[in-house]
Amino acid sequence: MSDHRRRERYPGTHPQRFAQKYKELAPERYPADVEKVRGRGQTPAGTHRPICLEEILQILHPASGETGLDATLGYGGHAIALWNRVHPGGLLVATDVDAVELPRTEARMRLQNPEAPATSLVIRHQNFSGIERLLPLTAGGFDFILADLGVSSMQIDNPDRGFTFKAPGPLDLRLNPQWGKPGWKLLEGMTRRALEAMFTDNADEPYARVLAQGLSARRSPITTTTAFADVIRQTLAAQGEADPEVVRKTLQRCFQALRIEVNREFEALDTLLAALPRCLKPGGRVALLTFHSGEESRVRAAWTAGAASGTYQSVSSEPIRPSTQERYDNPRSKSARLHWAVRSISGLLGER
């Protein structure tokens, strides 16, 4: 019996739901259609557009024979460019915590670069907090390191992952579905004070207190994205807040706050920042893309401390923003901030 499945039908001329966008989900078969989507300033479903790619290549300056790390592989847009530049004789190590997207990205990258030696690309399924476990793959550390701290479009767009309030789905929000508690389960065990702290610390949410009260007063479990969003909307309405833009931004912040809590993102980032000097060769370059104040403040503090101690010989004084054209072409890049640092030449790998 054939396992061929008829594609999902949809009303009208354009698909609306993620599963209906069969052309966008198969870009290798429908490249012209995918380019039309990009031309409208949208990200095709199931894909991701690398942010600040040219700026990152200038900062990291990958060269043939070098060993680099892309600590947040995602869709592979940054990684394929870095990998191409370390030939011949170089190595790119890439990691990602997402067990769903990782094998797809590896297969796509190897298909795009068939002439590259298979051993010149090493991919590991792990969180970037475990960066020091990768040092045995190098000869004295990495020449360059990249970490894009944003959530990939593939995760945001797929309602089954639970990252968006724009479509119904399970309130999951795990970057690695094989690890930790999903968002709905985490909410079950949180007190009003813990909820308020989460919204405040993870997203600077001005309505943190009343939202925490609204969620803690809910008797039935909040297991879906729509249920979580409904409580937020209802709580804001009870406060007399009806401005659609305020509601939208509050929803974004609340989903961000819960996602950060579910994945312990700030703990992982703090561990990465502490480990970076021990993982870079003297003169090694690092670039980090941040997307909100919680990430940015941590990176700035690490850069300031590293420059003061002599660990870094130079750091970015101000982050680089995507160009006006990139922000127009890819609206999801608007909140991105690119930070960089260079390891001191005199620093020794492993010093503490």
187, 171 Cβ separation under 8 angstroms: yes
Q: What is the CATH number of domain 53-148+266-343?
A: 3.40.50.150
Model pLDDT, residue 216: 92
The residues of the chain scoring below 50 in pLDDT are 1-4, 15-26, 34, 348-352
Q: How do residues 83-106 score in pLDDT, each as one tens digit?
A: 999 989 999 999 999 988 899 999
Model pLDDT, residue 156: 82
Model pLDDT, residue 338: 98
Q: What is the CATH number of domain 165-263?
A: 1.10.150.170
Model pLDDT, residue 115: 86
279, 135 Cβ separation under 8 angstroms: yes
User: Which strands make up the sheet holding 312-315, listed edge to edge?
Assistant: 121-125, 91-96, 67-70, 142-148, 280-290, 337-343, 312-315
Which CA distances in Å does 296 have to 47, 165, 174, 339? 25, 24, 22, 9
- Rounded Cα distance between 129 and 145, Å, is 13
Domain positions in the chain are 53-148+266-343, 165-263
- Rounded Cα distance between 58 and 146, Å, is 12
Query: Burial letters for 282-298: b for 16+ Cβ neighbours within 10 Å, e otherwise?
Result: eebbbbbbbbbebbbeb
Model pLDDT, residue 8: 56
Model pLDDT, residue 192: 96
131, 275 Cβ separation under 8 angstroms: yes
Model pLDDT, residue 290: 97
Model pLDDT, residue 16: 47
Which CA distances in Å does 216 have to 196, 205, 252, 299? 10, 17, 19, 33
